[in-house]
Amino acid sequence: MEEQGNTSQLKKALITIFAVLFVDQLVKFYVKTNFAYGDSFDFLGLSWFQIQFVENPGMAFGWEIPFLPKDGAKLLLTSFRIVAVSLIAYYLWQKIKSGKIGGMVYSLALILAGAIGNIIDSVFYGKIFSDSDYHIMEPASFLPDFSGKVGFLKGEVVDMFFFSARYPEWMPFDLGGGYIFPPIFNVADSAITIGVLMILLFQRRYFREQFLVDEEPVATQKTATDTVISTENNQ
């Protein structure tokens, strides 16, 4: 029974990871090959939500390392992502093997899938796509004649989702007229954020599930011991 439960949890994790990666890479490929850098439009006619093509060499939501040169920051962040993904994957696998993961399987799978999605951009996009920037006002080419604009591990992450809603002009503290949520992000960033929020919101439930799993063998052992004692007394 325990082995079947572990297999079921592994399937849930793999389905979640592959579903997120498929959507993430599909959206990025479409934007990269159909949008010139900086192109944008209102999604479904919504004035507060745009699809806007940008790239960033940094972390989720476009955050960068300001004290490092661009190429050095790319290599450092890509290396960090690879190490982080390896650790998350190992932790997820160990939790599944122990049978103590419960609902946390979806949270960790979302975080892992998001991290892998952005790693794919960093590692491969510099080799398989032509350049995209403000000086080239046309979409990138997939598998161009030359071997990409940069080497492996130096690609940039494709971002496209932008909440363009602004604060009212009367807001204090220099907020008036500014964007409510300025970072531009992608599906992978969203998966990571949702996974982290799920852990924060449902951590008590997750730990309760783990506690119940830990207590079950003790309860089973106690029942078996009581049965043996009862049998001996009857004899």
Tokens of 18: 């592959």
Angle, in degrees to the nearest 10, between helices 70-98 and 104-120: 150
Whether residue 159 lies in the annotated active site: yes
Q: Give the whole-angstrom CA distance, residue 116 versus residue 25.
A: 10
CB 62 within 8 A of CB 159: yes
Active-site residue (options: 159, 174, 214, 226): 159
Active-site residue (options: 133, 189, 214, 226): 189
Q: What contacts 24+ positions apart, CB below 8 Å, involve 202-207?
A: 202/103, 202/107, 205/102, 205/103, 206/102, 206/103, 206/104, 206/107
Whether residue 189 lies in the annotated active site: yes
SS (H, E, C) 143-196: CCCCCCCCCCCCCCEEEEEEEEEECCCCCCCCCCCCEEEEEEECHHHHHHHHHH
Residue where the block lists tokens 């049978």: 99
Query: Where does residue 222 rank: exposed (0-12), middle (13-18), buried (19+ CB within 10 A)?
Result: exposed
Q: Give the whole-angstrom CA distance, residue 230 versus residue 218.
A: 18
Residue 180 φ/ψ, nearest 5 degrees: -70, -40
User: Catalytic residue positions?
Assistant: 159, 189
